């Protein structure tokens, strides 16, 4: 039997995650936040569908701040 994937509910996600992250979203902000959550979800679906070879993963270099050529902090 195949499992049916529940549709992404941006409003439900926002209502659950905003308090968990300590965010206050006003009624004025809510439509824009919901729009961008929907866009983010669609982008994540594209990435999830991309086949990746586990052997191709390697760690990215680590940024370590230093000084510029004139000796000032970076």
pLDDT digit of tens for each residue in the chain (74 aa)?
556 778 999 999 999 999 999 999 999 999 999 999 999 999 999 989 988 887 777 887 887 777 767 767 65
Please report, for the chain, the start and end positions of each structural domain, with discontinuous segments joined by +. 10-41
Angstrom distances, CA of residue 28 to CA of 7, 25, 36, 41, 71: 25, 8, 14, 22, 47
* H or E, element range at 43: helix 30-49
**What's the pLDDT score for residue 24?**
96
Q: What is the pTM of this model?
A: 0.64
At residue 63, the pLDDT reads 78
Question: What pLDDT is attached to residue 1?
Answer: 52
pLDDT given for residue 13 in this prediction: 96
């Amino acid at each position: 039997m195949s499992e049916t994937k529940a549709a992404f509910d941006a409003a439900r996600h926002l209502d659950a995650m905003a308090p968990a992250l300590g965010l206050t979203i006003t009624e004025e902000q809510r439509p824009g936040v919901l729009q961008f959550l929907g866009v983010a979800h669609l982008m994540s679906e594209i990435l999830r569908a991309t086949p990746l070879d586990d052997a191709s993963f390697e760690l990215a270099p680590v940024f370590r701040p230093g000084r510029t050529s004139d000796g000032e902090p970076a």
